[in-house]
């Protein structure tokens, strides 16, 4: 029996952890186990993998999986709610960076990423003001990064000859959308996600320039550009709560 796209359960002592199995085209050899920031577990398996083979592989790493899940849950609890003070963790391109708030007088406000820190220099250090500065910084970073990725991705896509019109808009339930007029809207929170997740969303919306609905042809185009898109999507789904949290 094949295990593609099934939910299985890992048991370790008295603990039970559900995990999703995804068949990844082109993958060979061993399975890959991912524990995402929300504590969910995903296993990427080569095509035609058998359920018992996958279960044995995951069971061998049961202790590691449990430890990673515990750590993810603790970090999630620590990150919520935001207080916008030094020491908090904030995401950028899939990595956690520690926030450093520095009070300065008569100096232009700034937000800079340096040596693993997001350093905010300002005379007004209230949480609400720090939040506003970070929002602006993320939008600026998103504009720059998304523009660069479109320039890199588009030459590899046969149905797009030039960069589409696009804009940023904060959304609670979507990473992106494409209007019937071909205007792509991207969530600035997306710049907090890993690079492969960002590329997945950009390509997803570029596919909508040809097929506006999620039909067979749409997924054929998406699969052609990102063969392992299901695994990438699952990773992004597992980070939603942390990435959009303000």
Mean of all residue pLDDT scores within the chain = 89
Domain that holds residue 116: 89-141
**Looking at the domain assignment, is residue 60 inside a domain?**
yes
Phi-psi region of 225 (alpha: psi -120 to 50; beta: other; left: phi over 0): alpha
CATH of residue 209:
3.30.2010.10
In this structure, the answer to whether residues 39 and 53 fall within a common structural domain is yes
Output the pLDDT for position 2: 47
Mean pLDDT of 112-129: 94
pTM: 0.76
Q: What is the pLDDT of residues 225-245, one digit of tens each?
A: 999 898 899 889 888 878 888
- Our count of domains for the chain comes to 3
Q: What is the pLDDT of residues 32-42, one digit of tens each?
A: 898 887 788 98
**Looking at the domain assignment, is residue 84 inside a domain?**
no
| Alpha-carbon span 84 to 90, nearest angstrom | 10
Label the pairing between strands 95-103 and 117-122: parallel
Output the pLDDT for position 90: 92
Cβ–Cβ contacts within 10 Å for residue 78, how many?
10
In this structure, the answer to whether residues 103 and 51 fall within a common structural domain is no
| Alpha-carbon span 153 to 1, nearest angstrom | 38
**Looking at the domain assignment, is residue 2 inside a domain?**
no
């Amino acid at each position: 029996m094949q295990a593609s796209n099934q939910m299985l359960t890992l048991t370790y002592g008295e603990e039970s952890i559900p995990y999703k199995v995804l068949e990844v085209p082109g993958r060979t050899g061993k399975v890959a186990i991912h524990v995402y920031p929300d504590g969910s577990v995903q296993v990427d398996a080569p095509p035609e993998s058998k359920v018992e083979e996958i279960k044995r592989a995951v069971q061998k790493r049961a202790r590691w999986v449990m430890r990673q899940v515990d750590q993810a849950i603790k970090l999630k609890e620590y990150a919520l709610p935001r207080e916008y003070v030094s020491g908090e963790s904030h995401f950028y391109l899939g990595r956690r960076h520690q926030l450093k708030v520095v009070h300065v007088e008569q100096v232009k406000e700034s937000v800079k990423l340096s040596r693993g820190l997001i350093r905010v220099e300002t005379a007004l250090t209230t949480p609400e003001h720090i939040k506003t500065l970070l929002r602006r910084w993320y939008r600026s970073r998103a504009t720059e990064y998304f523009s660069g990725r479109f320039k890199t991705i588009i030459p590899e896509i046969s149905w797009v000859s030039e960069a589409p019109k696009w804009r940023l808009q904060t959304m609670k339930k979507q990473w992106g959308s494409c209007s019937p007029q071909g205007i792509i809207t991207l969530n600035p929170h997306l710049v907090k996600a890993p690079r492969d997740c960002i590329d997945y969303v950009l390509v997803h919306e570029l596919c909508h320039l040809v097929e506006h609905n999620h039909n067979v042809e749409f997924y054929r185009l998406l699969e052609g550009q990102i063969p392992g898109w299901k695994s990438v999507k699952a990773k992004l789904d597992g980070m939603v709560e942390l990435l959009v949290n303000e």
